[in-house]
Structure 1
Amino acid sequence: MARNRARRELSQNFLVDTAAVRRIVESARLSPHDLVLEPGAGTGAMTLALARRCRKVIAYEIDPFHAAKLTTRTRHHSTVDVVREDFLHVRTPHEPFAVVGNIPYSVTSPIVDWCLRSPHLTSATLLTQREYARKRAGSYGRWTLLTIRTWPTFTWQIAGSVDRQSFRPVPSVDSAVLRLERRSTPLVAPEDMAAYDSLVRLGFRGMGGSLYASLQSTGAAVQVSKAFAEAGIDRDLAVGFVRPDQWLTLFNTLR
């Protein structure tokens, strides 16, 4: 009973499909030189597969029962460190690293935010609820504030789906592999990112019912009209339907 209660509190659904593990690890596109952080490692379904692809895996598991099992399972693997700690409280490494993991659904957004704030993160390959991944990757033709804000620095894409039957216990929803990758060359210069972020935040405030109305509230009506024409955006278009590339055109025209 205690184990079941702990599992519910920690949103633990363990991946048992070896083919799914292989697809996720392949999607991470790791090199033998990579340092990998694995949040929510559980009992290690993915840990050893990752260890075969990279230089070092630091596996984080907050549940003491599963952390102990994982420590035993990996005791002969010098490339794996098991840490019993909440991943969200971990300091980011001072060297390039990747994050790969089957993360608890309940802390998906905090873990994604942690990754985006980490200056040395190269990529994050995360198994999330499929609905979350599709919204962030623009699969519905709509784009979220978070995706647009970070688009100049990160790509967002879905690297495949994982059926709910691949887990034990079986969750109520299907999952998807969400991959974030830091761009080698940002689409907006670092010194201009604050201005870009301000523009995006203003647009998503929804003033006047459309992006056009929101941006016109700055008083620069002529410039906004020119920018919309350059980007090919209809003036009545709701902000969520404006594509990332159109946002970049707006920014470059307005600045």
Structure 2
Amino acid sequence: MAQNFAHGNYSHTQKKARNGGGGGRTPADRARRTLSQNFLVDRHAIDLMVKAAAPEGLVLEPGPGEGPLTFALAEAGARVVAYEVDPRLAGRLASRTRGDDRIEVVRADFTTVRAPREPFAVVGNIPYAITSRIVDWCLRAPALTSATLLTQREYARKRAGDYGRWTLVTVESWPWFGWRLGDMVGRESFRPVPSVDSAILRVERRPEPLVHDRRSYQELVEVGFAGIGGSVRASLKTHYPGVDAALAAADVARDTVVGHVHPEQWVVLWERLCR
């Protein structure tokens, strides 16, 4: 398959450092620091990613590096388009996959590419520094079916509500996407070893949305998260009549802070305040 090496400016993978010139840093060393590169080297972790993703059809992979997850996804039955910005790694992976119709390598910044029109999934071990950009890209893609992302563990726990609190990103997208925390992947699964552990975050589009008016729902959530008065009740009362009855219907105490309101309760609030 022909390879496309369009311009881009990031990668998440990392090649092992080697001693050399340039002030003691090789091009690989500099890429590691500039592009937030880390290799996933643990086969068990790769298997966990593939199991969580259950790949089929078209799969986009941000930052494949040298391709261990890329090949595993292809072997599981996916048609993989792998986006790698590092020219060394993109060229190396392109050479290894030349003639393999299951895999296409594109040198590009994943967050700048146009989303496919056909249904597709995103699967990848993504860099901590641009996790939010990749997640935002996924949530905006109309044909995305799911995203299975290996992220910093704290990020995954926050987005999945594992601390008993819920973030604006999760609540705003909840009627259209379910968020689930998957297996932890220890820092020793990467080379070089990062300072924190990772976890699998699964974002899956719902077959039918829970809300059919995106604008009014997201306006409600944004007002609630505005933080006026210290509680969700205080914030919502600035814009919506009947807040107390809506809170009672959603089983939300009047003094509840916004982060402790479950996304399903936000759906009830929308039904009572916006329909």
TM-score (norm 1): 0.96
Structure 1 residue 18 corresponds to structure 2 residue 47: no
Tell me how far 1:55 sits from its aligned partner: 4.1
Which of 244, 249, 255 lines up with 1:236 in the alignment? 255
Tell me how far 1:96 sits from its aligned partner: 0.3
Name 2:161's counterpart in structure 1: 138
Aligned residues: 249
CA distance in structure 2 between the aligned counterparts of 1:161 and 1:9, rounded to whole angstroms: 26
CA distance in structure 2 between the aligned counterparts of 1:22 and 1:195, rounded to whole angstroms: 41
CA distance in structure 2 between the aligned counterparts of 1:54 and 1:219, rounded to whole angstroms: 50
Instruction: Report the RMSD for the aligned CA atoms in angstroms.
Output: 0.9
- Which portions of structure 1, spanning 4 or more consecutive aligned residues, are displaced by more than 2 angstroms? none
Name 1:42's counterpart in structure 2: 65
Deviations 1:205-251 (A, max 9, x none): 0111111011111261xx11100111111111100000011111111
Is the 1:36–1:54 Cα contact (8 Å) retained in structure 2?
A: no
Which of 130, 151, 166 lines up with 2:174 in the alignment? 151
Tell me how far 1:104 sits from its aligned partner: 1.2
SS in 2 for 1:46: helix
Tell me how far 1:95 sits from its aligned partner: 0.4
Mind listing any 5+ residue stretches in structure 2 that lack a counterpart? 1-24
CA distance in structure 2 between the aligned counterparts of 1:27 and 1:182, rounded to whole angstroms: 15
Identity %: 58
Tell me how far 1:68 sits from its aligned partner: 1.2
Give the letter aligned to residue 197 of structure 1: Q
Name 1:226's counterpart in structure 2: 245
Tell me how far 1:54 sits from its aligned partner: 2.9
Give the letter aligned to residue 250 of structure 2: A
Name 1:93's counterpart in structure 2: 116
Structure 1 residue 196 corresponds to structure 2 residue 212: no
Name 1:205's counterpart in structure 2: 226
SS in 2 for 1:36: strand
Give the letter aligned to residue 225 of structure 1: D
Give the letter aligned to residue 246 of structure 1: Q
CA distance in structure 2 between the aligned counterparts of 1:174 and 1:125, rounded to whole angstroms: 17
Mind listing any 5+ residue stretches in structure 1 that lack a counterpart? none
Give the letter aligned to residue 206 of structure 1: G
TM-score (norm 2): 0.89
Give the letter aligned to residue 24 of structure 1: M
Structure 1 residue 8 corresponds to structure 2 residue 33: yes
CA distance in structure 2 between the aligned counterparts of 1:150 and 1:219, rounded to whole angstroms: 21
CA distance in structure 1 between the aligned counterparts of 2:240 and 2:35, rounded to whole angstroms: 49
CA distance in structure 1 between the aligned counterparts of 2:165 and 2:30, rounded to whole angstroms: 37
